[in-house]
A and B are shown apart, each in its own frame.
Chain A
Amino acid sequence: MRRIGRYALLLFVLAITIGPFLWQLSTSLKGAGEDVYAPDFVPSQPTLANYAGVADAVPVWTFVLNSLFVAVINVVANCVGASMAGYALARLKFRGRRLAALVFASGILVPFEVILISLFLVMRSFGLTNTLTGVVLPGAIAALNVLLMRNAFLALQPEVEEAAVIDGANAWQRFVRIAVPSARGTILVVALFSFMFSWDDFLWPLVVLSDPDKYTLTIGLAYLQGTFFQNQRLVAAGTIIAVAPLIVLFISLQKHFFRGVGEGAIKG
Chain B
Amino acid sequence: MRSPARVSRWYTPWLFLLPGLAVVVTFSLVPFVNMIVLAFTNATALGGGQFTGLANFRRMLDDPKFWVALRNSSLYLVCIVPPLVVLPLLIALLVRKKLPGITFFRTAFFTPVIASAVVVGLIWTWLLDSQGLVNNVLRALGWVSRPVPFLTDEWLLLFSAMLVTVWKGLGYYMIIYLAALGNVPGDLHEAAQVDGAGPVRRFFAVTVPALRPTMVLVAALSAVNGFRVFSEIYLLSGGSGGPGGADTSLVMLIQQTGTGLTGNVGYASALSLVLFVITLGLLLVTLRLNRREEAL
Contacts and interface: CB of A to CB of B under 8 A. Distances in A.
Nearest to A260: B175
A154 B105 CA distance: 34
A157 interface: no
A200 B103 CA distance: 24
Interface string A12-27: 0110111011011001
A200 B115 contact: yes
Contacts of A24: 123, 126
A240 B169 CA distance: 20
Interface in B92-112: 94-95, 97, 99, 103, 105-112
A85 B20 contact: yes
Contact of B5 (A92, A169, A263): A92
A44 interface: no
Interface in A79-130: 80-82, 84-85, 87-89, 91-94, 96-97, 100, 103-104, 106-107, 109-111, 113-122
Interface stretch (B30-38, B154-162, B187-195): B30-38
Nearest to B122: A239
B54 interface: no
Given A84-B19, A225-B125, A262 B179 contact: yes
A33 interface: no
B143 interface: no
Contacts of A122: 26-27, 30-31, 34
Interface in B19-51: 19-21, 23-32, 34-35, 38
B8 A171 contact: yes
Contacts of B94: 6, 9-10, 13
Contacts of A80: 19
Nearest to B35: A118
Contacts of B178: 258, 262
B19 A21 contact: no
Interface on chain B toward A: helix, strand, loop, or mixed SS?
helix
A117 B224 contact: no
7 contacts: A17-B171, A81-B20, A143-B20, A143-B24, A200-B117, A203-B255, A242-B116
A258 B175 contact: yes
Contact of A93 (B5, B19, B123, B175): B5
Interface string B253-290: 01100110001010011001101100110010000000
Interface of A: 3, 6-7, 9-10, 13-14, 16-18, 20-21, 23-24, 27, 37-39, 77, 80-82, 84-85, 87-89, 91-94, 96-97, 100, 103-104, 106-107, 109-111, 113-122, 137-138, 140-141, 143, 146, 161-162, 165, 168-172, 174-175, 196, 199-203, 206-207, 218, 221-222, 225-226, 229, 232, 235-236, 238-239, 242-243, 246-247, 250-251, 254, 257-258, 261-263, 265-266
A266 B5 contact: no
Interface on chain A toward B: helix, strand, loop, or mixed SS?
helix
Contacts of A232: 126
A18 B108 contact: yes
A170 to B, nearest CB: 6
B19 A81 contact: yes
A121 B108 CA distance: 41
A222 B16 contact: no
Given A17-B111, A118-B32, A100 B105 contact: no
A165 B7 contact: yes
Contacts of B263: 117
Contact of A94 (B13, B21, B170, B172): B13
B203 to A, nearest CB: 15
B145 interface: no
Contacts of B52: none
Nearest to B20: A85
A23 B105 contact: no
Given A39-B136, A84-B17, A118-B34, A21 B111 contact: yes
B132 interface: yes
- Going nearest first, the 9 A-B pairs with the smallest beta carbon separation are A200-B116, A85-B20, A262-B179, A117-B258, A88-B16, A118-B31, A115-B31, A118-B35, A93-B5
B23 A174 contact: no
Contact of B122 (A6, A37, A39, A221): A221
A100 B22 CA distance: 11
Given A117-B259, A117-B265, A141-B23, A161 B123 contact: no
B124 to A, nearest CB: 7
